[in-house]
Amino acid sequence: MLELDDIYFTIQKGREDIHLLEQVNLRVPTGHFMAIVGPSGCGKSTLLKLIAGINQESAGSIFWNGRNLSEEGDLEHSEIGYVPQFSIAYDGLTVEENVENAVKLRVKTENRDELYDLTDKVLESAGLEAIRDRPVKVLSGGQKRRLSLALELVTDPVLLLCDEVTSGLDPKSEQEIVELMHELSRNEHRIVVNVTHSLANLDLYDSVLVLDTGRVVYHGPPRAIEHYFSVAKAEDVYPQLAKRKPEEWAGSWDKHRDSYYEGFPAKPSGDPDVSVSAETPGAAVQFFALFFRRWKIFFRDRGQLGLQIAILILFPILVVIFAPDGVEQVKRLSESLPGNLAEYEQERDAVTFNLNLGGIVSGLVMFQVILLTLMGSNNSAREIAGEREIFEKEKLGGVRPSAYLASKVAFLAVLVTIQSVWMAIFVESICDLPSDNQFAHTIFLLLVNGAMTAICLGISALARTADQASLLSIYLVGFQLPLSGAVLALPHLAGWLTRPFISAYWSWAGIMDVMQKDYLRYIKEVTDTWLAPMWLSLIVLLLHILVGLFIAYVGVKKPKWEN
Ligand SMILES: Nc1ncnc2c1ncn2[C@@H]1O[C@H](COP(=O)(O)OP(=O)(O)OP(=O)(O)O)[C@@H](O)[C@H]1O
Ligand SMILES: [Mg+2]
């Protein structure tokens, strides 16, 4: 039995309190199929989210089998299935892969067989067997809704909450989905609630709840609706509602409620504390499921894969072709550094030449660094923001934010390593930069790519949309070069204020510090910017990575529901 007792959901607008839900009282026995209907904006989704535990009620209590959820804790993740208005499946994966992944993330299974058996069972109960191998992107609207339902069935939830799973479907598909939900509710432990605009096809529901501006104005059998609202057919209820104020409708419902509820079976269902739903798997299991799923999606998405490969190959080439003369000079001059130049003329020429060389080496390194920051932002800007809705849904289903973030970090670490090491090897093999310590040089390239990837991951976790995250990340990369001070020195104070935040500067400075000492002299001559010592650059870049990851963690933990 689900009971709502004097529930309010109140938001503040300026100084005013606005009740989105007001004095909601209702009782739903288990084994029951309930519809929530009402005009657009009346609070249907708000009420559903409140029951799901996504929204917290401002006043009142919710009881599940006599247990006060507000005081004794919400239902377990596995006890609730919540099907939101948006699609929660990955387009690039097949129907079966989506269901299998949901099982891996949400149900503790003993072995592979159990995993496959459960997947089969869920596909069968949602009527998806015939299309199990199809990619989600080719499914029809009705098939997608079935899949959304299937994904929630993996834990065998006691409360299945569906938001508009039938909206936008043709009448036949709508009928089929309602029939499916009806079937799923024929289970003595379970309640199925469906929010819908549609006042047709109400016969299959055990009860219909009518909301008007946040108030319950009817909750009873579908066949009594016409009589209660004095209309000829159910479709006329909305125009009829408009004829009186919501509080008047709510007032008269208060008088009638008890007589309607007398007809409801009020049996407490068995032992209230027996949980029939599945157990959530551990963090490590979730991590591996998410990590392998990420790679699968990566390789299926031809566009993303092509872009990554193109960037990987082209960016290092860009570094060397932009400085063909420089490459020649670096090679020629590495033998003829000054030492015993006798003639003044010669000496002056050599100094000019070496200063020039210092500029080239510094510029080539900065170019390497900047392109890696661009790769970093491309790696992670959309990583979380692009799938935020699905992740919120998975979090509600018991996926731990830490496992999710760890899977992202592991995936991105592979990309960052390949990109940075390849950049270092390729450029070094052609330009022969006068680095004293090639290993340290590579590490600084890795760190700057890692720092930018981590910071953009943080942005991605905080952003409202993927586009917003992309834009912010691109700005961040755009500021790296001018604010690094490597091209033009910044005014003294501005330099000290901005430098701590510019990853590119620290990577560049770190690499300069491991250049051969003779070269370093000339590099210092051509750059007016302070050159930080290597150890400091190392610490700052590591801090950037940590800060980025911390922001990402805060971002993924924070609930972000759009609708
Ligand atoms: N967090 C919020 N802050 C401010 N207003 C909100 C919030 N959540 C919902 N609302 C408002 O509350 C009202 C009810 O929203 P809700 O989404 O529950 O409506 P609904 O009945 O599901 O509508 P629809 O049928 O269009 O989906 C709307 O006017 C909406 O703008
Ligand atoms: Mg809604």
CATH entry 3.20.20.220 includes domain 2-261: no
**What pLDDT was estimated at residue 523?**
79
**What pLDDT was estimated at residue 240?**
93
The residue-averaged pLDDT of 121-150 equals: 95
Between CA 26 and CA 211 the distance in angstroms is 12
pLDDT tier at 444 (50, 70, 90 boundaries)?
very high
Which one of 259-273, 519-533, 535-549 scores highest in mean pLDDT? Answer: 535-549
DSSP string of 253-287, one letter each residue:
HHHHHHHHHTTS-----S-TT---SPPPPPHHHHH
What distance in angstroms lies between residue 531's CA and the mean position of ligand 2's atoms? Answer: 57
Q: What is the 3-state secondary structure (H, E, C) of 171-221?
A: HHHHHHHHHHHHHHHCCCCCEEEEECCCCCCCCCCCEEEEEECCEEEEEEC
Pocket of ligand 1 (CB under 6 A): 11, 20, 38, 40-46, 197
Token pair of 542 as six digits: 């590591």
| Closest C-alpha among 82, 22, 25 to residue 58 | 22
Amino acid, res. 437: N
**What pLDDT was estimated at residue 563?**
54
**What pLDDT was estimated at residue 324?**
57
Q: Is the pLDDT of residue 547 over 70?
A: yes
Percent of the chain at pLDDT exceeding 90: 69
**What pLDDT was estimated at residue 24?**
95
Token pair of 215 as six digits: 């108030």
**What pLDDT was estimated at residue 464?**
92
What distance in angstroms lies between residue 166's CA and the mean position of ligand 2's atoms? Answer: 12
Residue-range domain boundaries for the chain? 2-261, 283-333+341-557
pLDDT tier at 19 (50, 70, 90 boundaries)?
very high
Ligand 1 atom closest to 164 (CA): 27
Look up residue 79 and give its DSSP letter. Answer: G
Shortest-distance ligand to the CA of residue 561: 1
Cβ-count burial 172-208 (b if 16+ within 10 Å, e if not): ebbbbbbebbbebbeeebbbbbbbbebbebbebbbbb
- Name the closest-CA residue to atom 28, ligand 1: 41
Shortest-distance ligand to the CA of residue 18: 1
- Name the closest-CA residue to atom 16, ligand 1: 43
Q: Tell me the Ramachandran region of residue 10: left when phi exceeds 0, alpha when psi lies from -120 to 50, beta otherwise.
A: beta
What distance in angstroms lies between residue 214's CA and the mean position of ligand 1's atoms? Answer: 9
Range in 51-65, 73-87, 483-497, 549-563 with the lowest mean pLDDT: 483-497
Between CA 54 and CA 26 the distance in angstroms is 19
DSSP string of 475-496, one letter each residue:
HHHHHHHHHHSSSSPPPHHHHH
Shortest-distance ligand to the CA of residue 162: 2
pLDDT tier at 86 (50, 70, 90 boundaries)?
confident
Q: Is the pLDDT of residue 345 over 70?
A: no
The residue-averaged pLDDT of 457-476 equals: 96
Q: Is the pLDDT of residue 265 over 70?
A: no
**What pLDDT was estimated at residue 530?**
84
DSSP H helix total and E strand total for the chain = 21, 10
Each residue of 372-419: pLDDT tens digit? Answer: 999 999 999 999 999 999 999 999 999 999 999 999 999 999 999 999
Q: Is the pLDDT of residue 242 over 70?
A: yes
Pocket test for ligand 1, best of 46, 58, 198, 563 (most atoms within 8 A of CB): 46
Each residue of 467-524: pLDDT tens digit? Answer: 999 999 999 999 998 888 777 777 878 888 889 999 999 999 999 999 888 778 877 8
pLDDT tier at 441 (50, 70, 90 boundaries)?
very high
The residue-averaged pLDDT of 237-247 equals: 93
Each residue of 357-370: pLDDT tens digit? Answer: 778 888 889 999 99
Average pLDDT of the chain to the nearest whole number:
89
Neighbouring residues of 224: CB distance < 8 A, sequence distance ≥ 6: 260
Each residue of 272-328: pLDDT tens digit? Answer: 555 567 889 999 999 999 999 999 999 999 999 999 999 999 999 988 886 656 556
Each residue of 91-112: pLDDT tens digit? Answer: 999 999 999 999 999 999 999 9
pLDDT tier at 260 (50, 70, 90 boundaries)?
confident
Ligand 1 atom closest to 48 (CA): 18
**How do beta strands 159-163 and 80-83 pair?**
parallel
Q: Is the pLDDT of residue 344 over 90?
A: no
Between CA 341 and CA 559 the distance in angstroms is 69
Enclosing H/E stretch for 23:
strand 16-28
Percent of the chain at pLDDT exceeding 70: 92
Strand-by-strand arrangement of the 67-68 sheet: 16-28, 2-13, 59-64, 67-68
Q: Is the pLDDT of residue 159 over 90?
A: yes
CB distance 469 to 456 below 8 Å: yes
Q: Which residue has the higher pLDDT, 339 or 111?
A: 111
Neighbouring residues of 178: CB distance < 8 A, sequence distance ≥ 6: 166, 194, 201, 204
pLDDT tier at 200 (50, 70, 90 boundaries)?
confident
**What pLDDT was estimated at residue 160?**
96
Range in 143-152, 264-273, 493-502 with the lowest mean pLDDT: 264-273
**What pLDDT was estimated at residue 343?**
57
Q: Is the pLDDT of residue 425 over 90?
A: yes
**What pLDDT was estimated at residue 433?**
83
- Name the closest-CA residue to atom 2, ligand 1: 11
Amino acid, res. 208: V
Phi, psi dihedral angles at 214 (to 5 degrees): 80, 5
Token pair of 185 as six digits: 């509710």
Cβ-count burial 1-35 (b if 16+ within 10 Å, e if not): bbbbbebbbeeeeeeeeebbbbbbbbbbbbbbbbb
**What pLDDT was estimated at residue 386?**
95
Q: Is the pLDDT of residue 204 over 60?
A: yes
Q: Tell me the Ramachandran region of residue 6: left when phi exceeds 0, alpha when psi lies from -120 to 50, beta otherwise.
A: left
pLDDT tier at 544 (50, 70, 90 boundaries)?
very high
What distance in angstroms lies between residue 36's CA and the mean position of ligand 1's atoms? Answer: 14
Shortest-distance ligand to the CA of residue 210: 1
